Amino acid sequence: MKQLTENQLMDNWNKLLQLIKDTFEDGSERREKLLKMYHDLEERMIVAPASGKEEYHYCYVGGYVNHVLHVCETALEVSKTYEKVGGHKDWTDEELIFSAMHHDLGKVGDLVGEYYIPQDNDWRRKTLGEVFTHNTDIQNMRVTDRALFLLQHYGVSVSLKETLAIKLSDGLYDEANPYYLKVFDAKRSLKNHLPYIIHWADHMATQAEFDEWKRGDDDNKEEMESKLENIKNISVGKTETKQEHTDEVLENKHKDLFDELFGDKS
């Protein structure tokens, strides 16, 4: 598992705080309330991972902040590309950064406790690569719903555009989202495109993070590749090796991967 040094953890944290200061107007209520929220959640947020399984995205201490910075950066690029290819930019950079910055806020947990806790089952750690597991002591909620709850708890105003961008950041990988995204009636389609930009940015950043994990650091590249190969070949509780069964297992694993990357399966 990748390990960030204390300096790297603090560098990323300071970059995130600086991004808030650069994005939101000095002295504005939104900036002050955001800084209060970040101050309260600081200890937990600095060390939170972005996912729970080793082969998923940024599954390591400090992965959450790293992922958020990555999605903010990617969202700015996707936004520029969208305009460049003829799209109409109907959002501001502040709305873009705000939505990207908080799309996964629910992964930090709630007022009671953290969302990801270390997996203490040795077999699951070693065999399934589960480094972290979900904390069942906190209320079971979708990550995006918890994000919106936390923002309202701290009195941070969230526009309708930003609400939908956070809510729909997992796109169609979230079972709750077809209601908004598969409407088959132009009159009911989204009134602006920020939710698409945030979803594309999150999807792209996440895939790139997976590629980064596969490549591994130079000194443990072989170890990473062998772990990935082992994980691909796992079929829990089954010993059959028939082709059709293997396909089914792999298909389910593929679905699990997407659920973990973009969903909130508890």
- Burial per residue of 39-58, b for 16 or more beta-carbon CB atoms within 10 angstroms, e otherwise: eebeeebbbbbbbbbbbbbb
Query: Quick one: 161 or 199, whose CB is closer to Fe ion?
Result: 199
Instruction: Pick from 202, 209, 260, 264 the residue near Fe ion by CB under 5 A.
Output: 202
Query: Quick one: 108 or 125, whose CB is closer to Fe ion?
Result: 108
Instruction: Report if residue 114 touches Fe ion, rule: CB under 5 A.
Output: no
Contacts of 138 (CB under 8 A, 6+ apart): 109, 110, 112, 113, 114, 115
Instruction: Report if residue 104 touches Fe ion, rule: CB under 5 A.
Output: yes
Contacts of 106 (CB under 8 A, 6+ apart): 115, 141, 142, 143, 144, 145, 146, 147, 149, 150, 264
Query: Quick one: 105 or 156, whose CB is closer to Fe ion?
Result: 105
In whole angstroms, give the CA distance from residue 59 to residue 34: 25
Q: List the x/- string, 40-79, binding to Fe ion by CB under 5 A.
A: ----------------------------------------
Listed residue (148, 107, 112, 54) closest to 265, CA to CA: 107
Q: Please, which of residues 228-257 interact with Fe ion by CB under 5 A?
A: none
CB of 86 to Fe ion, least distance (A): 27
In whole angstroms, give the CA distance from residue 70 to residue 121: 31
Q: How big is the site for Fe ion, counted in residues (CB under 5 A)?
A: 2
Which residue has tokens 């930019």? 89
CB of 68 to Fe ion, least distance (A): 8
CB of 27 to Fe ion, least distance (A): 30
In whole angstroms, give the CA distance from residue 51 to residue 145: 17
Query: Quick one: 202 or 260, whose CB is closer to Fe ion?
Result: 202
Query: Quick one: 15 or 124, whose CB is closer to Fe ion?
Result: 15
Listed residue (18, 120, 118) closest to 59, CA to CA: 118
Region near Fe ion per CB under 5 A, out of 145-153, 188-196, 200-208, 245-253: 200-208
Query: Quick one: 46 or 72, whose CB is closer to Fe ion?
Result: 72
CB of 261 to Fe ion, least distance (A): 8
- Residues at the contact surface with Fe ion, assessed by CB under 5 A: 104, 202
